[in-house]
A = this chain, B = another copy of it.
């Protein structure tokens, strides 16, 4: 027996196997996951395993290595989150999300840090040796909402899309703030004196870390898209590029002390559209499947490890500090959400209701990121107290909040996600309104969200697509393609119903589709067939129609005041923009 030789891969495989089998086990009994979130069950499995290891070896079980967490377990989850991010609600609420992520997190860090420092001043608690800086450092790691925990809980409770994206987007984007504040306070702890310069440098660094992450991510994303232009003859390695480039973007960002999470999300969101157009359908299935698989396994492993690492002798128990940490985490989050939402609601028509605010505040779960960060702390005499407090906060949020959030959502009758996908008609209307609003903004000289979206779309179809896509197919033919697809669908249905005639048939509908240039007929047919189409086909139809609508707006004469039909050249367009800017000033 030569165990040592195969130990590393063998143990990794066994852990992954354990995680997968645990997942299967939970799903065999359907009743359990409907009451207790999977994350709680997994932590529970981890606690039992940790207990067994502790009992057998009589020493603390191995703690989840922070390097393993940040380098191998976290990236798949974030990649999956970024790749499947619903981009429309995300960009519609980007302002609010950033406000929560940046201002909210800073608010929480300082709120928790200062009030814990206040607690430390009470002599009876015997905490006077914990300095303000250490409290702020602790605040910086405990303040951030954890994307893994949020995803695990919110995926099961199906709240409405906006609420979901607000909590989830915040948990992803606060990484930049957490990274900066955590590293800032850690280096302050080690410095003899702190100059005001250092504080300003820290503020400046936040922009570098966040925007740098976006830049790194986008450049890797576009490179990935460009690479998949050339994989036509060797389809089999296409999925690899999606994973390799995203992972490289994460590692590169980490290497330069930028936000890896922000980088990998930008990379995934940047590449998705082009990569999907370039790679084959089977490659795409593989990419989607493997991403989901990997993130699901990582997620499972994280929660199991969290449970295992909880057991042991790493903790120093101090009732007041730990209890007040939990209380302050709850209070400052609630206050932060209330205050920020007050300002957000003043500038929006579609306001965030008080029920939604409650769920946002209550959904601020902490998870494995805090846990890994607290173990990365430099050794000092109160580290074990911080570890204990972090563990309690995580277990409290995941177990108590995670288990009660579903009944609360039911009780408050929070608006749920709509069960049915929007009909094609609705989608077309939304798109149409987008273009209409972009046109209105264009004319009125108000540069809002629709205007920029439209500009981006123009830039995309004019330059990016030509560089990044394999063949820039004429959108004109796509309506015909759509028609063919629907026709095929219809034929399959006829065959399944056994109503197919085999003789030579009537003059085809396809010919008439060629003759009839308007897309109205297709739209009407859509509506009829719509409930028999699956979501993938619907998405596709939506895309095609949207692109065509866009083209109509771009090429149509009625939308441009200053150009004659047919001569809307880029230079003309530039002139138009100048005139508009002049007017708006």
Contacts and interface: CB of A to CB of B under 8 A. Distances in A.
A107 to B, nearest CB: 29
Given A2-B257, A17-B248, 4 more contacts: A9-B71, A237-B293, A498-B509, A500-B508
Interface residues on A, range: 35 or more
A254 B508 contact: no
A502 interface: yes
Given A255-B5, A290-B239, A501 B498 contact: no
Majority DSSP secondary structure for residues of A touching B:
helix
Nearest to A485: B495
Contacts of A2: 254-257
What 8 A-B pairs are tightest by C-beta distance, nearest first? Answer: A498-B508, A491-B495, A501-B505, A491-B491, A498-B510, A286-B289, A27-B233, A499-B505
A247 interface: yes
Contacts of A562: none
Interface in A212-255: 227, 230-231, 233-234, 236-237, 239-241, 244, 247-248, 251-252, 254-255
Contacts of A24: 227, 230-231, 234, 237
Interface in A286-314: 286, 289-290, 292-293, 296-297
A285 interface: yes
A282 B289 contact: yes
Nearest to A253: B6
Interface in A463-520: 484, 487-488, 490-492, 494-496, 498-506, 508-511
Contacts of A8: 71
Interface of A: 1-3, 5-6, 8-10, 13-14, 16-17, 20-21, 23-24, 27-28, 30, 67, 71-72, 227, 230-231, 233-234, 236-237, 239-241, 244, 247-248, 251-252, 254-257, 282-283, 285-286, 289-290, 292-293, 296-297, 484, 487-488, 490-492, 494-496, 498-506, 508-511
30 contacts: A1-B255, A2-B256, A5-B254, A5-B255, A6-B255, A9-B71, A10-B251, A13-B248, A16-B240, A16-B244, A17-B248, A23-B237, A24-B231, A27-B233, A237-B293, A237-B296, A239-B289, A239-B290, A239-B293, A240-B297, A282-B285, A290-B290, A487-B495, A488-B492, A491-B491, A492-B492, A494-B505, A500-B505, A500-B509, A503-B506
Number of copies: 2
Contacts of A27: 233-234
Contacts of A9: 71-72, 247, 251
A550 to B, nearest CB: 28
A488 B498 CA distance: 10
